[in-house]
Amino acid sequence: MSKYYSNRQIILSIIIGSMCAIIVGSGMSLEMGRKAVNHQVIITGFKFVPEELKVSIGDTVTWINEDIVPHNVINNKSKGVVSTDLLSGEKYTFMVKSSLTYECGFHPSMKEKLLVP
Ligand SMILES: [Cu+2]
């Protein structure tokens, strides 16, 4: 009886172990299949250029302020602060976690849309 259970436990652990290996292996191959990309958004003339960007989760976006006035980046919905205040010539890099619209906390008419397909 105890031998039966120990054999059964061995078989179960082999099956579970194999399933875990398959899941981890497929996840790793997906990760290895693509490289994170850095996208640059120039802030100029009170606009984010480009105003709309197709990105993938894990990519980074660098906002570069080329205006002479400060700008920043906040979450359009939550109004949570994403970047530091960017003085002229300063930049800030952010890692994409989802599709979102951003805006400038000082100038809410400035919008930046990051689209994750
Ligand atoms: Cu601004």
Please list all protein residues whose beta carbon sits less than 5 angstroms from ligand 1, which is an ion: 71, 104, 106-107
Fold classification of 38-115 (topology level): Immunoglobulin-like (2.60.40)
Adjacent-strand bridge partners of 48: 43
- Across 31-47, average pLDDT: 90
**Cβ atoms of residues 76 and 114 within 8 Å:** no
Domain positions in the chain are: 1-33, 38-115
Q: How far is the CA of 85 from the centre of ligand 1 (A)?
A: 9
- Kindly provide the b/e burial profile for residues 17-28, where b requires at least 16 CB atoms within 10 angstroms of the residue's own CB: eeeeeeeeeeee
Residues 42-69 pLDDT 10s: 999 999 999 999 999 999 999 999 999 9
Residues 62-95 pLDDT 10s: 999 999 999 999 999 999 999 999 999 999 999 9
**Dihedral of the alpha carbons of 65, 72, 88, 63, in degrees to the nearest 10:** -20
Indicate the pTM of the whole model.
0.70
Strand, helix or coil at 64?
A: strand
Q: How far is the CA of 107 from the centre of ligand 1 (A)?
A: 4
Round to whole Å and give the CA distance between 25 and 13: 18
Q: How far is the CA of 13 from the centre of ligand 1 (A)?
A: 57
pLDDT bucket at 29, cuts 50 / 70 / 90: very low
